[in-house]
Structure formats: structure tokens, C-alpha cells
Amino acid sequence: MSEAPFRIDALKVACSSCNLRELCLPVGLTSEQLSALDTMVSTRRSVKRGEALFHAGEPFGALYAVRTGFFKTIVSAADGREQVTGFQMAGELIGLDGIGTDQHTCDAVALEDSQVCMIPYNQLESLSREFTLLQHQFHKIMSREIVRDHGVMLLLGSMRAEERLAAFVLNLTQRLQARGFSASALVLRMTREEIGSYLGLKLETVSRTFSKFQDDGLLEVKQRDIRILDLGALQRLVSSVNC
């Protein structure tokens, strides 16, 4: 590929013809409203693996919808410690954290070569004053992010390593399944260290727990290729600790 990171693609972007529109911001919009969205979401950006879409501290101006690829978001403490706060795949929005202070508060880094659609934020605000449905959908997306975060808090605050990893794998497969991928096999886009950071574990613990799941016949693990062998057992791990 000859693309530079951050290249702004010339080709016309159109929510109205995007196969992700039922997973993304335009859910439920009329075709008239969709074409209004099309004029707003007019630029697409390519981000190479390892490159950042934005960094904490940079001025906030737009949200980004993942079109292809995979991202992580990380927050950093003053002393340099990092925490992965989420992984984003096609149809998911990145950058909501920036609205509150007009500055991004996390880094968003591509885990593989990716494309995002840029959604200029003040245009989104004015368009959502016109379209009730767009406004409501946007609010729902923010609310769901809050609910997701609360779920992660529950995970970090009160689950053991096996439960955390099982919950993680199940969450990934559910989201992949919603995008038409297999429910029983997946390829991890992130390292053990990134999984560990997200789950509040060290990479060795993640690795060991994967190995244990394999020994117990729950998963087949070959590096980043995961196959689910016993879905029920994984689900039981998540929803019932010691009973």
C-alpha cells in the first residue's frame, strides 16, 4: 500500500450506501435523513496499524466511526501507566470522551490497517437538532458506552481472572457475530498485553488462562486464533462464580 497514515481519502463516503448503517450512527433514519448525513460525513481517513487516530490532549473536533479495521483506546496516568479502556470494531464510534472538555482524553490506536468516517462534531449537533431520530440515536450510543463502562467496572472490581477472560471472549464473539462473522471462531487483533491491560491482568496471566481454557476443552488457542469449543461452559463461568 502506498497510503500515508492519516490520508484523507478522496472517494465519496456515503452512509446511505454503507453496509454498516444498521450498526452505526444512522440506525433507523429515513432515506432523506440519510442523505443529509452523507453530506456531513464526507471524509474518510485511513489509519495504519500502530498509528494513532488521535492522542490525549489534542483538540477535539470530530467523532470517528470505524468503517474497517480495529482500534484500542487507552488512558494514561501521570506516571505513565496505561489502561486499555476499550476495543472498537466496525460500526462503533470513537472519540465521545472529547466532548466534555473539547480535548481528547485518551489515545485511539489502530490495531490493524483501518478506515474511519469522520463526523464533525458541531455538524452532528446541528443536524441532531433537526432530526429527532438522529439525536436520539446519538444519545443512545453515548448511554450504551456508559453502560458498557459500568460492566467493565463490575468485571475489574469483582471478577476473577478466568471470569474476566471468558467474559472478554464472549463479548468479542457477540460483537463479531452481529457483524456477520462466525460465532465460534475469532482472530484476536490485540496482544496478550493489551488484553491484560483491558482486563486488569498481566499478560502472563492472560496466557496462562488461555492455556487453562484449552486444557479444559473450552477453547482451542493457537496464538491469536481462537476457536470456541464449549460455549456453555464459558457462559457459566461468567454468570456464576461459586454456585
Partner DNA sequence: CGTAGTCTTGAACTGCATCAACCAATGTGG
Partner DNA sequence: CCACATTGGTTGATGCAGTTCAAGACTACG
Among 4, 8, 10, 77, binds its own copies (CB under 8 A): 77
Least separation in angstroms between residue 188's CB and DNA is 7
Between 7 and 208, name the residue whose CB sits nearer to DNA: 208
Is 40 in contact with 130 (CB distance < 8 Å)?
no
Q: With binding defined as CB under 8 A, does residue 205 bind its own copies?
A: no
Among 13, 20, 53, 152, binds its own copies (CB under 8 A): 152
Site track 177-206 with DNA (rule: CB under 7 A), x = hit: -----------x--xxx------xxxxxxx
Q: What is the DSSP letter of 184?
A: S
Closest CA to 233 of 222, 215, 219, 221: 219
Partner whose footprint covers residue 208, from DNA, its own copies, none (CB < 5 to 8 Å by kind): DNA
Q: With binding defined as CB under 7 A, does residue 223 bind DNA?
A: yes
Q: How many CB atoms lie within 10 A of CB 45?
A: 18
Partner whose footprint covers residue 202, from DNA, its own copies, none (CB < 5 to 8 Å by kind): DNA
| 124, 152, 210, 236, 237 from 198: Cα distances, Å | 30, 9, 15, 21, 19
Select the span of 16-24, 41-49, 146-154, 222-230 touching its own copies (CB under 8 A). 146-154
Q: How many CB atoms lie within 10 A of CB 5?
A: 15
Partner whose footprint covers residue 32, from its own copies, DNA, none (CB < 5 to 8 Å by kind): none
Pairing of strands 114-120, 62-68: antiparallel
Between 184 and 239, name the residue whose CB sits nearer to its own copies: 239
Lay out the sheet containing 219-222: strands in order across. 185-187, 225-228, 219-222
| 41, 105, 120 from 35: Cα distances, Å | 10, 32, 16
Question: What contacts 24+ positions apart, CB below 8 Å, involve 216-225?
Answer: 218/166, 219/169, 224/187, 224/188, 224/189, 225/185, 225/186, 225/187, 225/188
Q: With binding defined as CB under 8 A, does residue 142 bind its own copies?
A: yes
Q: With binding defined as CB under 7 A, does residue 162 bind DNA?
A: yes
Site for its own copies in 95-134 (CB under 8 A): 96-101, 105-106, 125-126, 128-130, 132
Residues that bind DNA (CB under 7 A): 160-162, 188, 191-193, 200-208, 210-211, 221-224
